[in-house]
Amino acid sequence: MADGEFEPKIVGFLCNWCTYAGADLAGTSRLQYPPNMRPIRVMCSGAVDSVYILRALLEGADGVFIGGCHPGDCHYVSGNYKARRRLVLFNSIMRSLGLDEDRVLLRWISAAEGRRFADTVAELVERLRKKGPSPFRKLWEV
Amino acid sequence: MKGLLKVADNNPAETLRTVYRRWLADGRLSALLVPARSRSGVVTLALVAQPEALTEAAPLLPCLHVNGAQVLADVGRDAGPDTAKVGAVLRPCELRAVVELAKLQQIALDNLVLIGIDCPGTFKVATYRKLLAQDPDFDNNFARKRDLANSELRTACQLCETPQPLVFDLAIGYIGLDPDRELWLEAATEKGDKLLEDITLEPQDEPADRRSALETLITRRREQIAERLTELDRAVLGPENLVRFFADCLNCHNCMKVCPICYCRECFFDSDVFRKDIAEHVRLTRRKGLRRMPRETLLFHLTRMNHMMTSCVQCGVCEDSCPAGIGLATLFKKVARNAQEEFGYLSGRSLEEPLPLTTFREDEFQRLGEE
């Protein structure tokens, strides 16, 4: 990306059954949303180990998005509830270490919610734009 | 069953050895895992299977060179036939790790008898040898000490809030008592009761002196923790500080290898996941322009925290094993405490309480995912 205006880079982990289909719907519905997110399809939000989030952040991603099915709708029954607990732990560790937990967003987006997906990406991009680049972009000593 | 055991000849260590000997001699236990000190000065845990070999046992040894739970996960992962009844004499932090490992299916408790013993704190082996050279009866004298503030204790012990066993079949206590005269024994289960059969106890409830001594000790430790965590925050908070905190990491993974909670047969970080050809490394390095080598050290520590913090018992063997001297014991005191509080969990407090990451409620943390 060119110097000048800061364009946040987001790594997105989208659950195959809901959020990824929601993203697809946003596309086929021709909804406009910022192109800042690199989507990665995962089978379940519960399959997103913290190492994936951490790797993205330490390598300099400005934000990480995790999309899963609404509570009660998980294809694997309870993967999203487990993802939620794992994020509670993740956030707690981030706070304990003085790292910015708000660069990571978890949101439930169903296959029917193309609009919610587009809005979520726009919202996260806006949030990260305000925060500025991740400090880890420059920290090579990690 | 619970009560006070009379100590013979003002020698609590020898009194315990006599009790242990009886358990092995009459076959109630087929072996006993105990701290030991050999004549040549080796300080270790030992599995003792012959009563006469208990002369090497050092029941009050104030040293923790490995977490005994890890030893139990090695020899006690499979229950075996029930002829093997093995007693394990463990400190509170070791017992807490046993509880976590049992819940992680890494220790079979069926043929084990968990014997907890008070622990006012432990020393690194090198420090202990020095103290022992000055005082050959150091073990007993340390147990006799009333004032337990000792700056030579291992960091984790200076910050320990559980000097008394939490989950046990049988507990042995001496904090708040006069160990030259009596020891506190408490059976919490049938297995524990069986060990106390034919041992003469003065039956009574836990002495008030003991309760108040434990409370005083824990209160003092908590003041110490508050102080240390304030210092820690100055050193660790924020990306730049955090990077500096872990800057000397050699990537040896000792902290993970000695951690009783890190039980994975193959750690993700020892796998081929991060293996790439050199061209790919160059490509990835272009992003920041340069890259620290050895690589992925901070990623290792942060991921490890995410994987084990809900079960961390803050035994501090990770810090002792770190050749770079990274202050993990104090760090984990903070991180583990906060992480476990999120779930109203305390590692090693109960065998029934489910591990935070293996359970959930539908109506919790509802802000996440919705906001």
Rounded to 10 deg, the angle between the A79-96 and B297-308 helix axes is: 120
B281 and A CB contact within 8 Å: no
> A interface toward B at CB cutoff 8 Å?
49-51, 54-55, 58-60, 68, 70-72, 78, 80-82, 84-90, 92-93, 95-99, 106-108, 135-142
- Report the residue from B290, B334, B362 with minimal CB separation from A140: B290
- Residue-wise over B21-31: b if at least 16 C-beta within 10 A, else e? bbbbeeebbeb
The four Cα atoms B278, B281, B287, B290 give a dihedral, to 10 degrees, of -90
Cβ of B289 and A89 within 8 Å?
no
Structural contact between residues B59 and B90, judged by C-beta atoms closer than 8 angstroms: no
d(CA B196, CA B192): 7
Q: What are phi and psi of B31, to 5 degrees?
A: -160, 165
Q: What pTM was computed for the model?
A: 0.95
Neighbours of B228 (CB within 10 A): 18
Task: Name the E strands within B7-162.
Answer: 31-37, 43-48, 86-90, 112-117
**Alpha-carbon Rg of chain B, whole angstroms?**
22
**Alpha-carbon Rg of chain A, whole angstroms?**
15
Question: How high is the ipTM of this complex?
Answer: 0.96
pLDDT tens-digit series, residues A86-127: 999 999 999 999 999 999 999 999 999 999 999 999 999 999
Residue A71: the pLDDT is 97
Residue B267: the pLDDT is 93
pLDDT one digit per residue (tens) for chain B, 371 residues:
999 999 999 999 999 999 999 999 999 999 999 999 998 889 999 999 999 999 999 999 999 989 999 999 999 888 888 778 999 999 999 999 999 999 999 999 999 999 999 999 999 999 999 999 999 999 999 999 866 666 799 999 999 999 999 999 999 999 999 999 999 999 999 999 999 999 999 999 999 999 999 999 999 999 999 999 999 999 999 999 999 999 999 999 999 999 999 999 999 999 998 899 999 999 999 999 999 999 999 999 999 999 999 999 999 999 999 999 999 999 999 999 999 999 999 999 999 999 999 999 999 999 999 97
Q: What are phi and psi of B147, to 5 degrees?
A: -95, 110
- Looking up tokens 């620290």, which residue turns up? B292
Alpha-carbon distances, residue B305 vs A62, A92, B255, B256 (angstroms): 22, 11, 11, 10
B30: tokens are 């087929």
Structural contact between residues A56 and A84, judged by C-beta atoms closer than 8 angstroms: no
Distance from CA of A83 to the nearest CA of B (A): 9
Distance from CA of A132 to the nearest CA of B (A): 15
Residue B84: the pLDDT is 81
Distance from CA of B137 to the nearest CA of A (A): 42
The four Cα atoms B65, B69, B70, B76 give a dihedral, to 10 degrees, of 130
Q: Smallest Cα–Cα separation from B119: which of B141, B154, B143, B138?
A: B143
Structural contact between residues A116 and A109, judged by C-beta atoms closer than 8 angstroms: yes
Arithmetic mean of pLDDT, A40-46 = 98
Residue B38: the pLDDT is 92
**Residues 6+ positions from B150 with CB-CB distance below 8 Å:** B121, B158
Residue B126: the pLDDT is 93
Structural contact between residues B55 and B63, judged by C-beta atoms closer than 8 angstroms: no
d(CA B183, CA A28): 76
- Looking up tokens 């609590």, which residue turns up? B12
Residue A3: the pLDDT is 56
Relative to beta strand A63-68, strand A104-108 is parallel
Residue B79: the pLDDT is 84
Residues of A in contact with B306 (CB under 8 A): 49-51, 54, 86, 89-90, 93
pLDDT tens-digit series, residues A61-88: 999 999 999 999 999 999 999 999 999 9
Residue B82: the pLDDT is 79
**Residues 6+ positions from B52 with CB-CB distance below 8 Å:** none
Residue B328: the pLDDT is 98
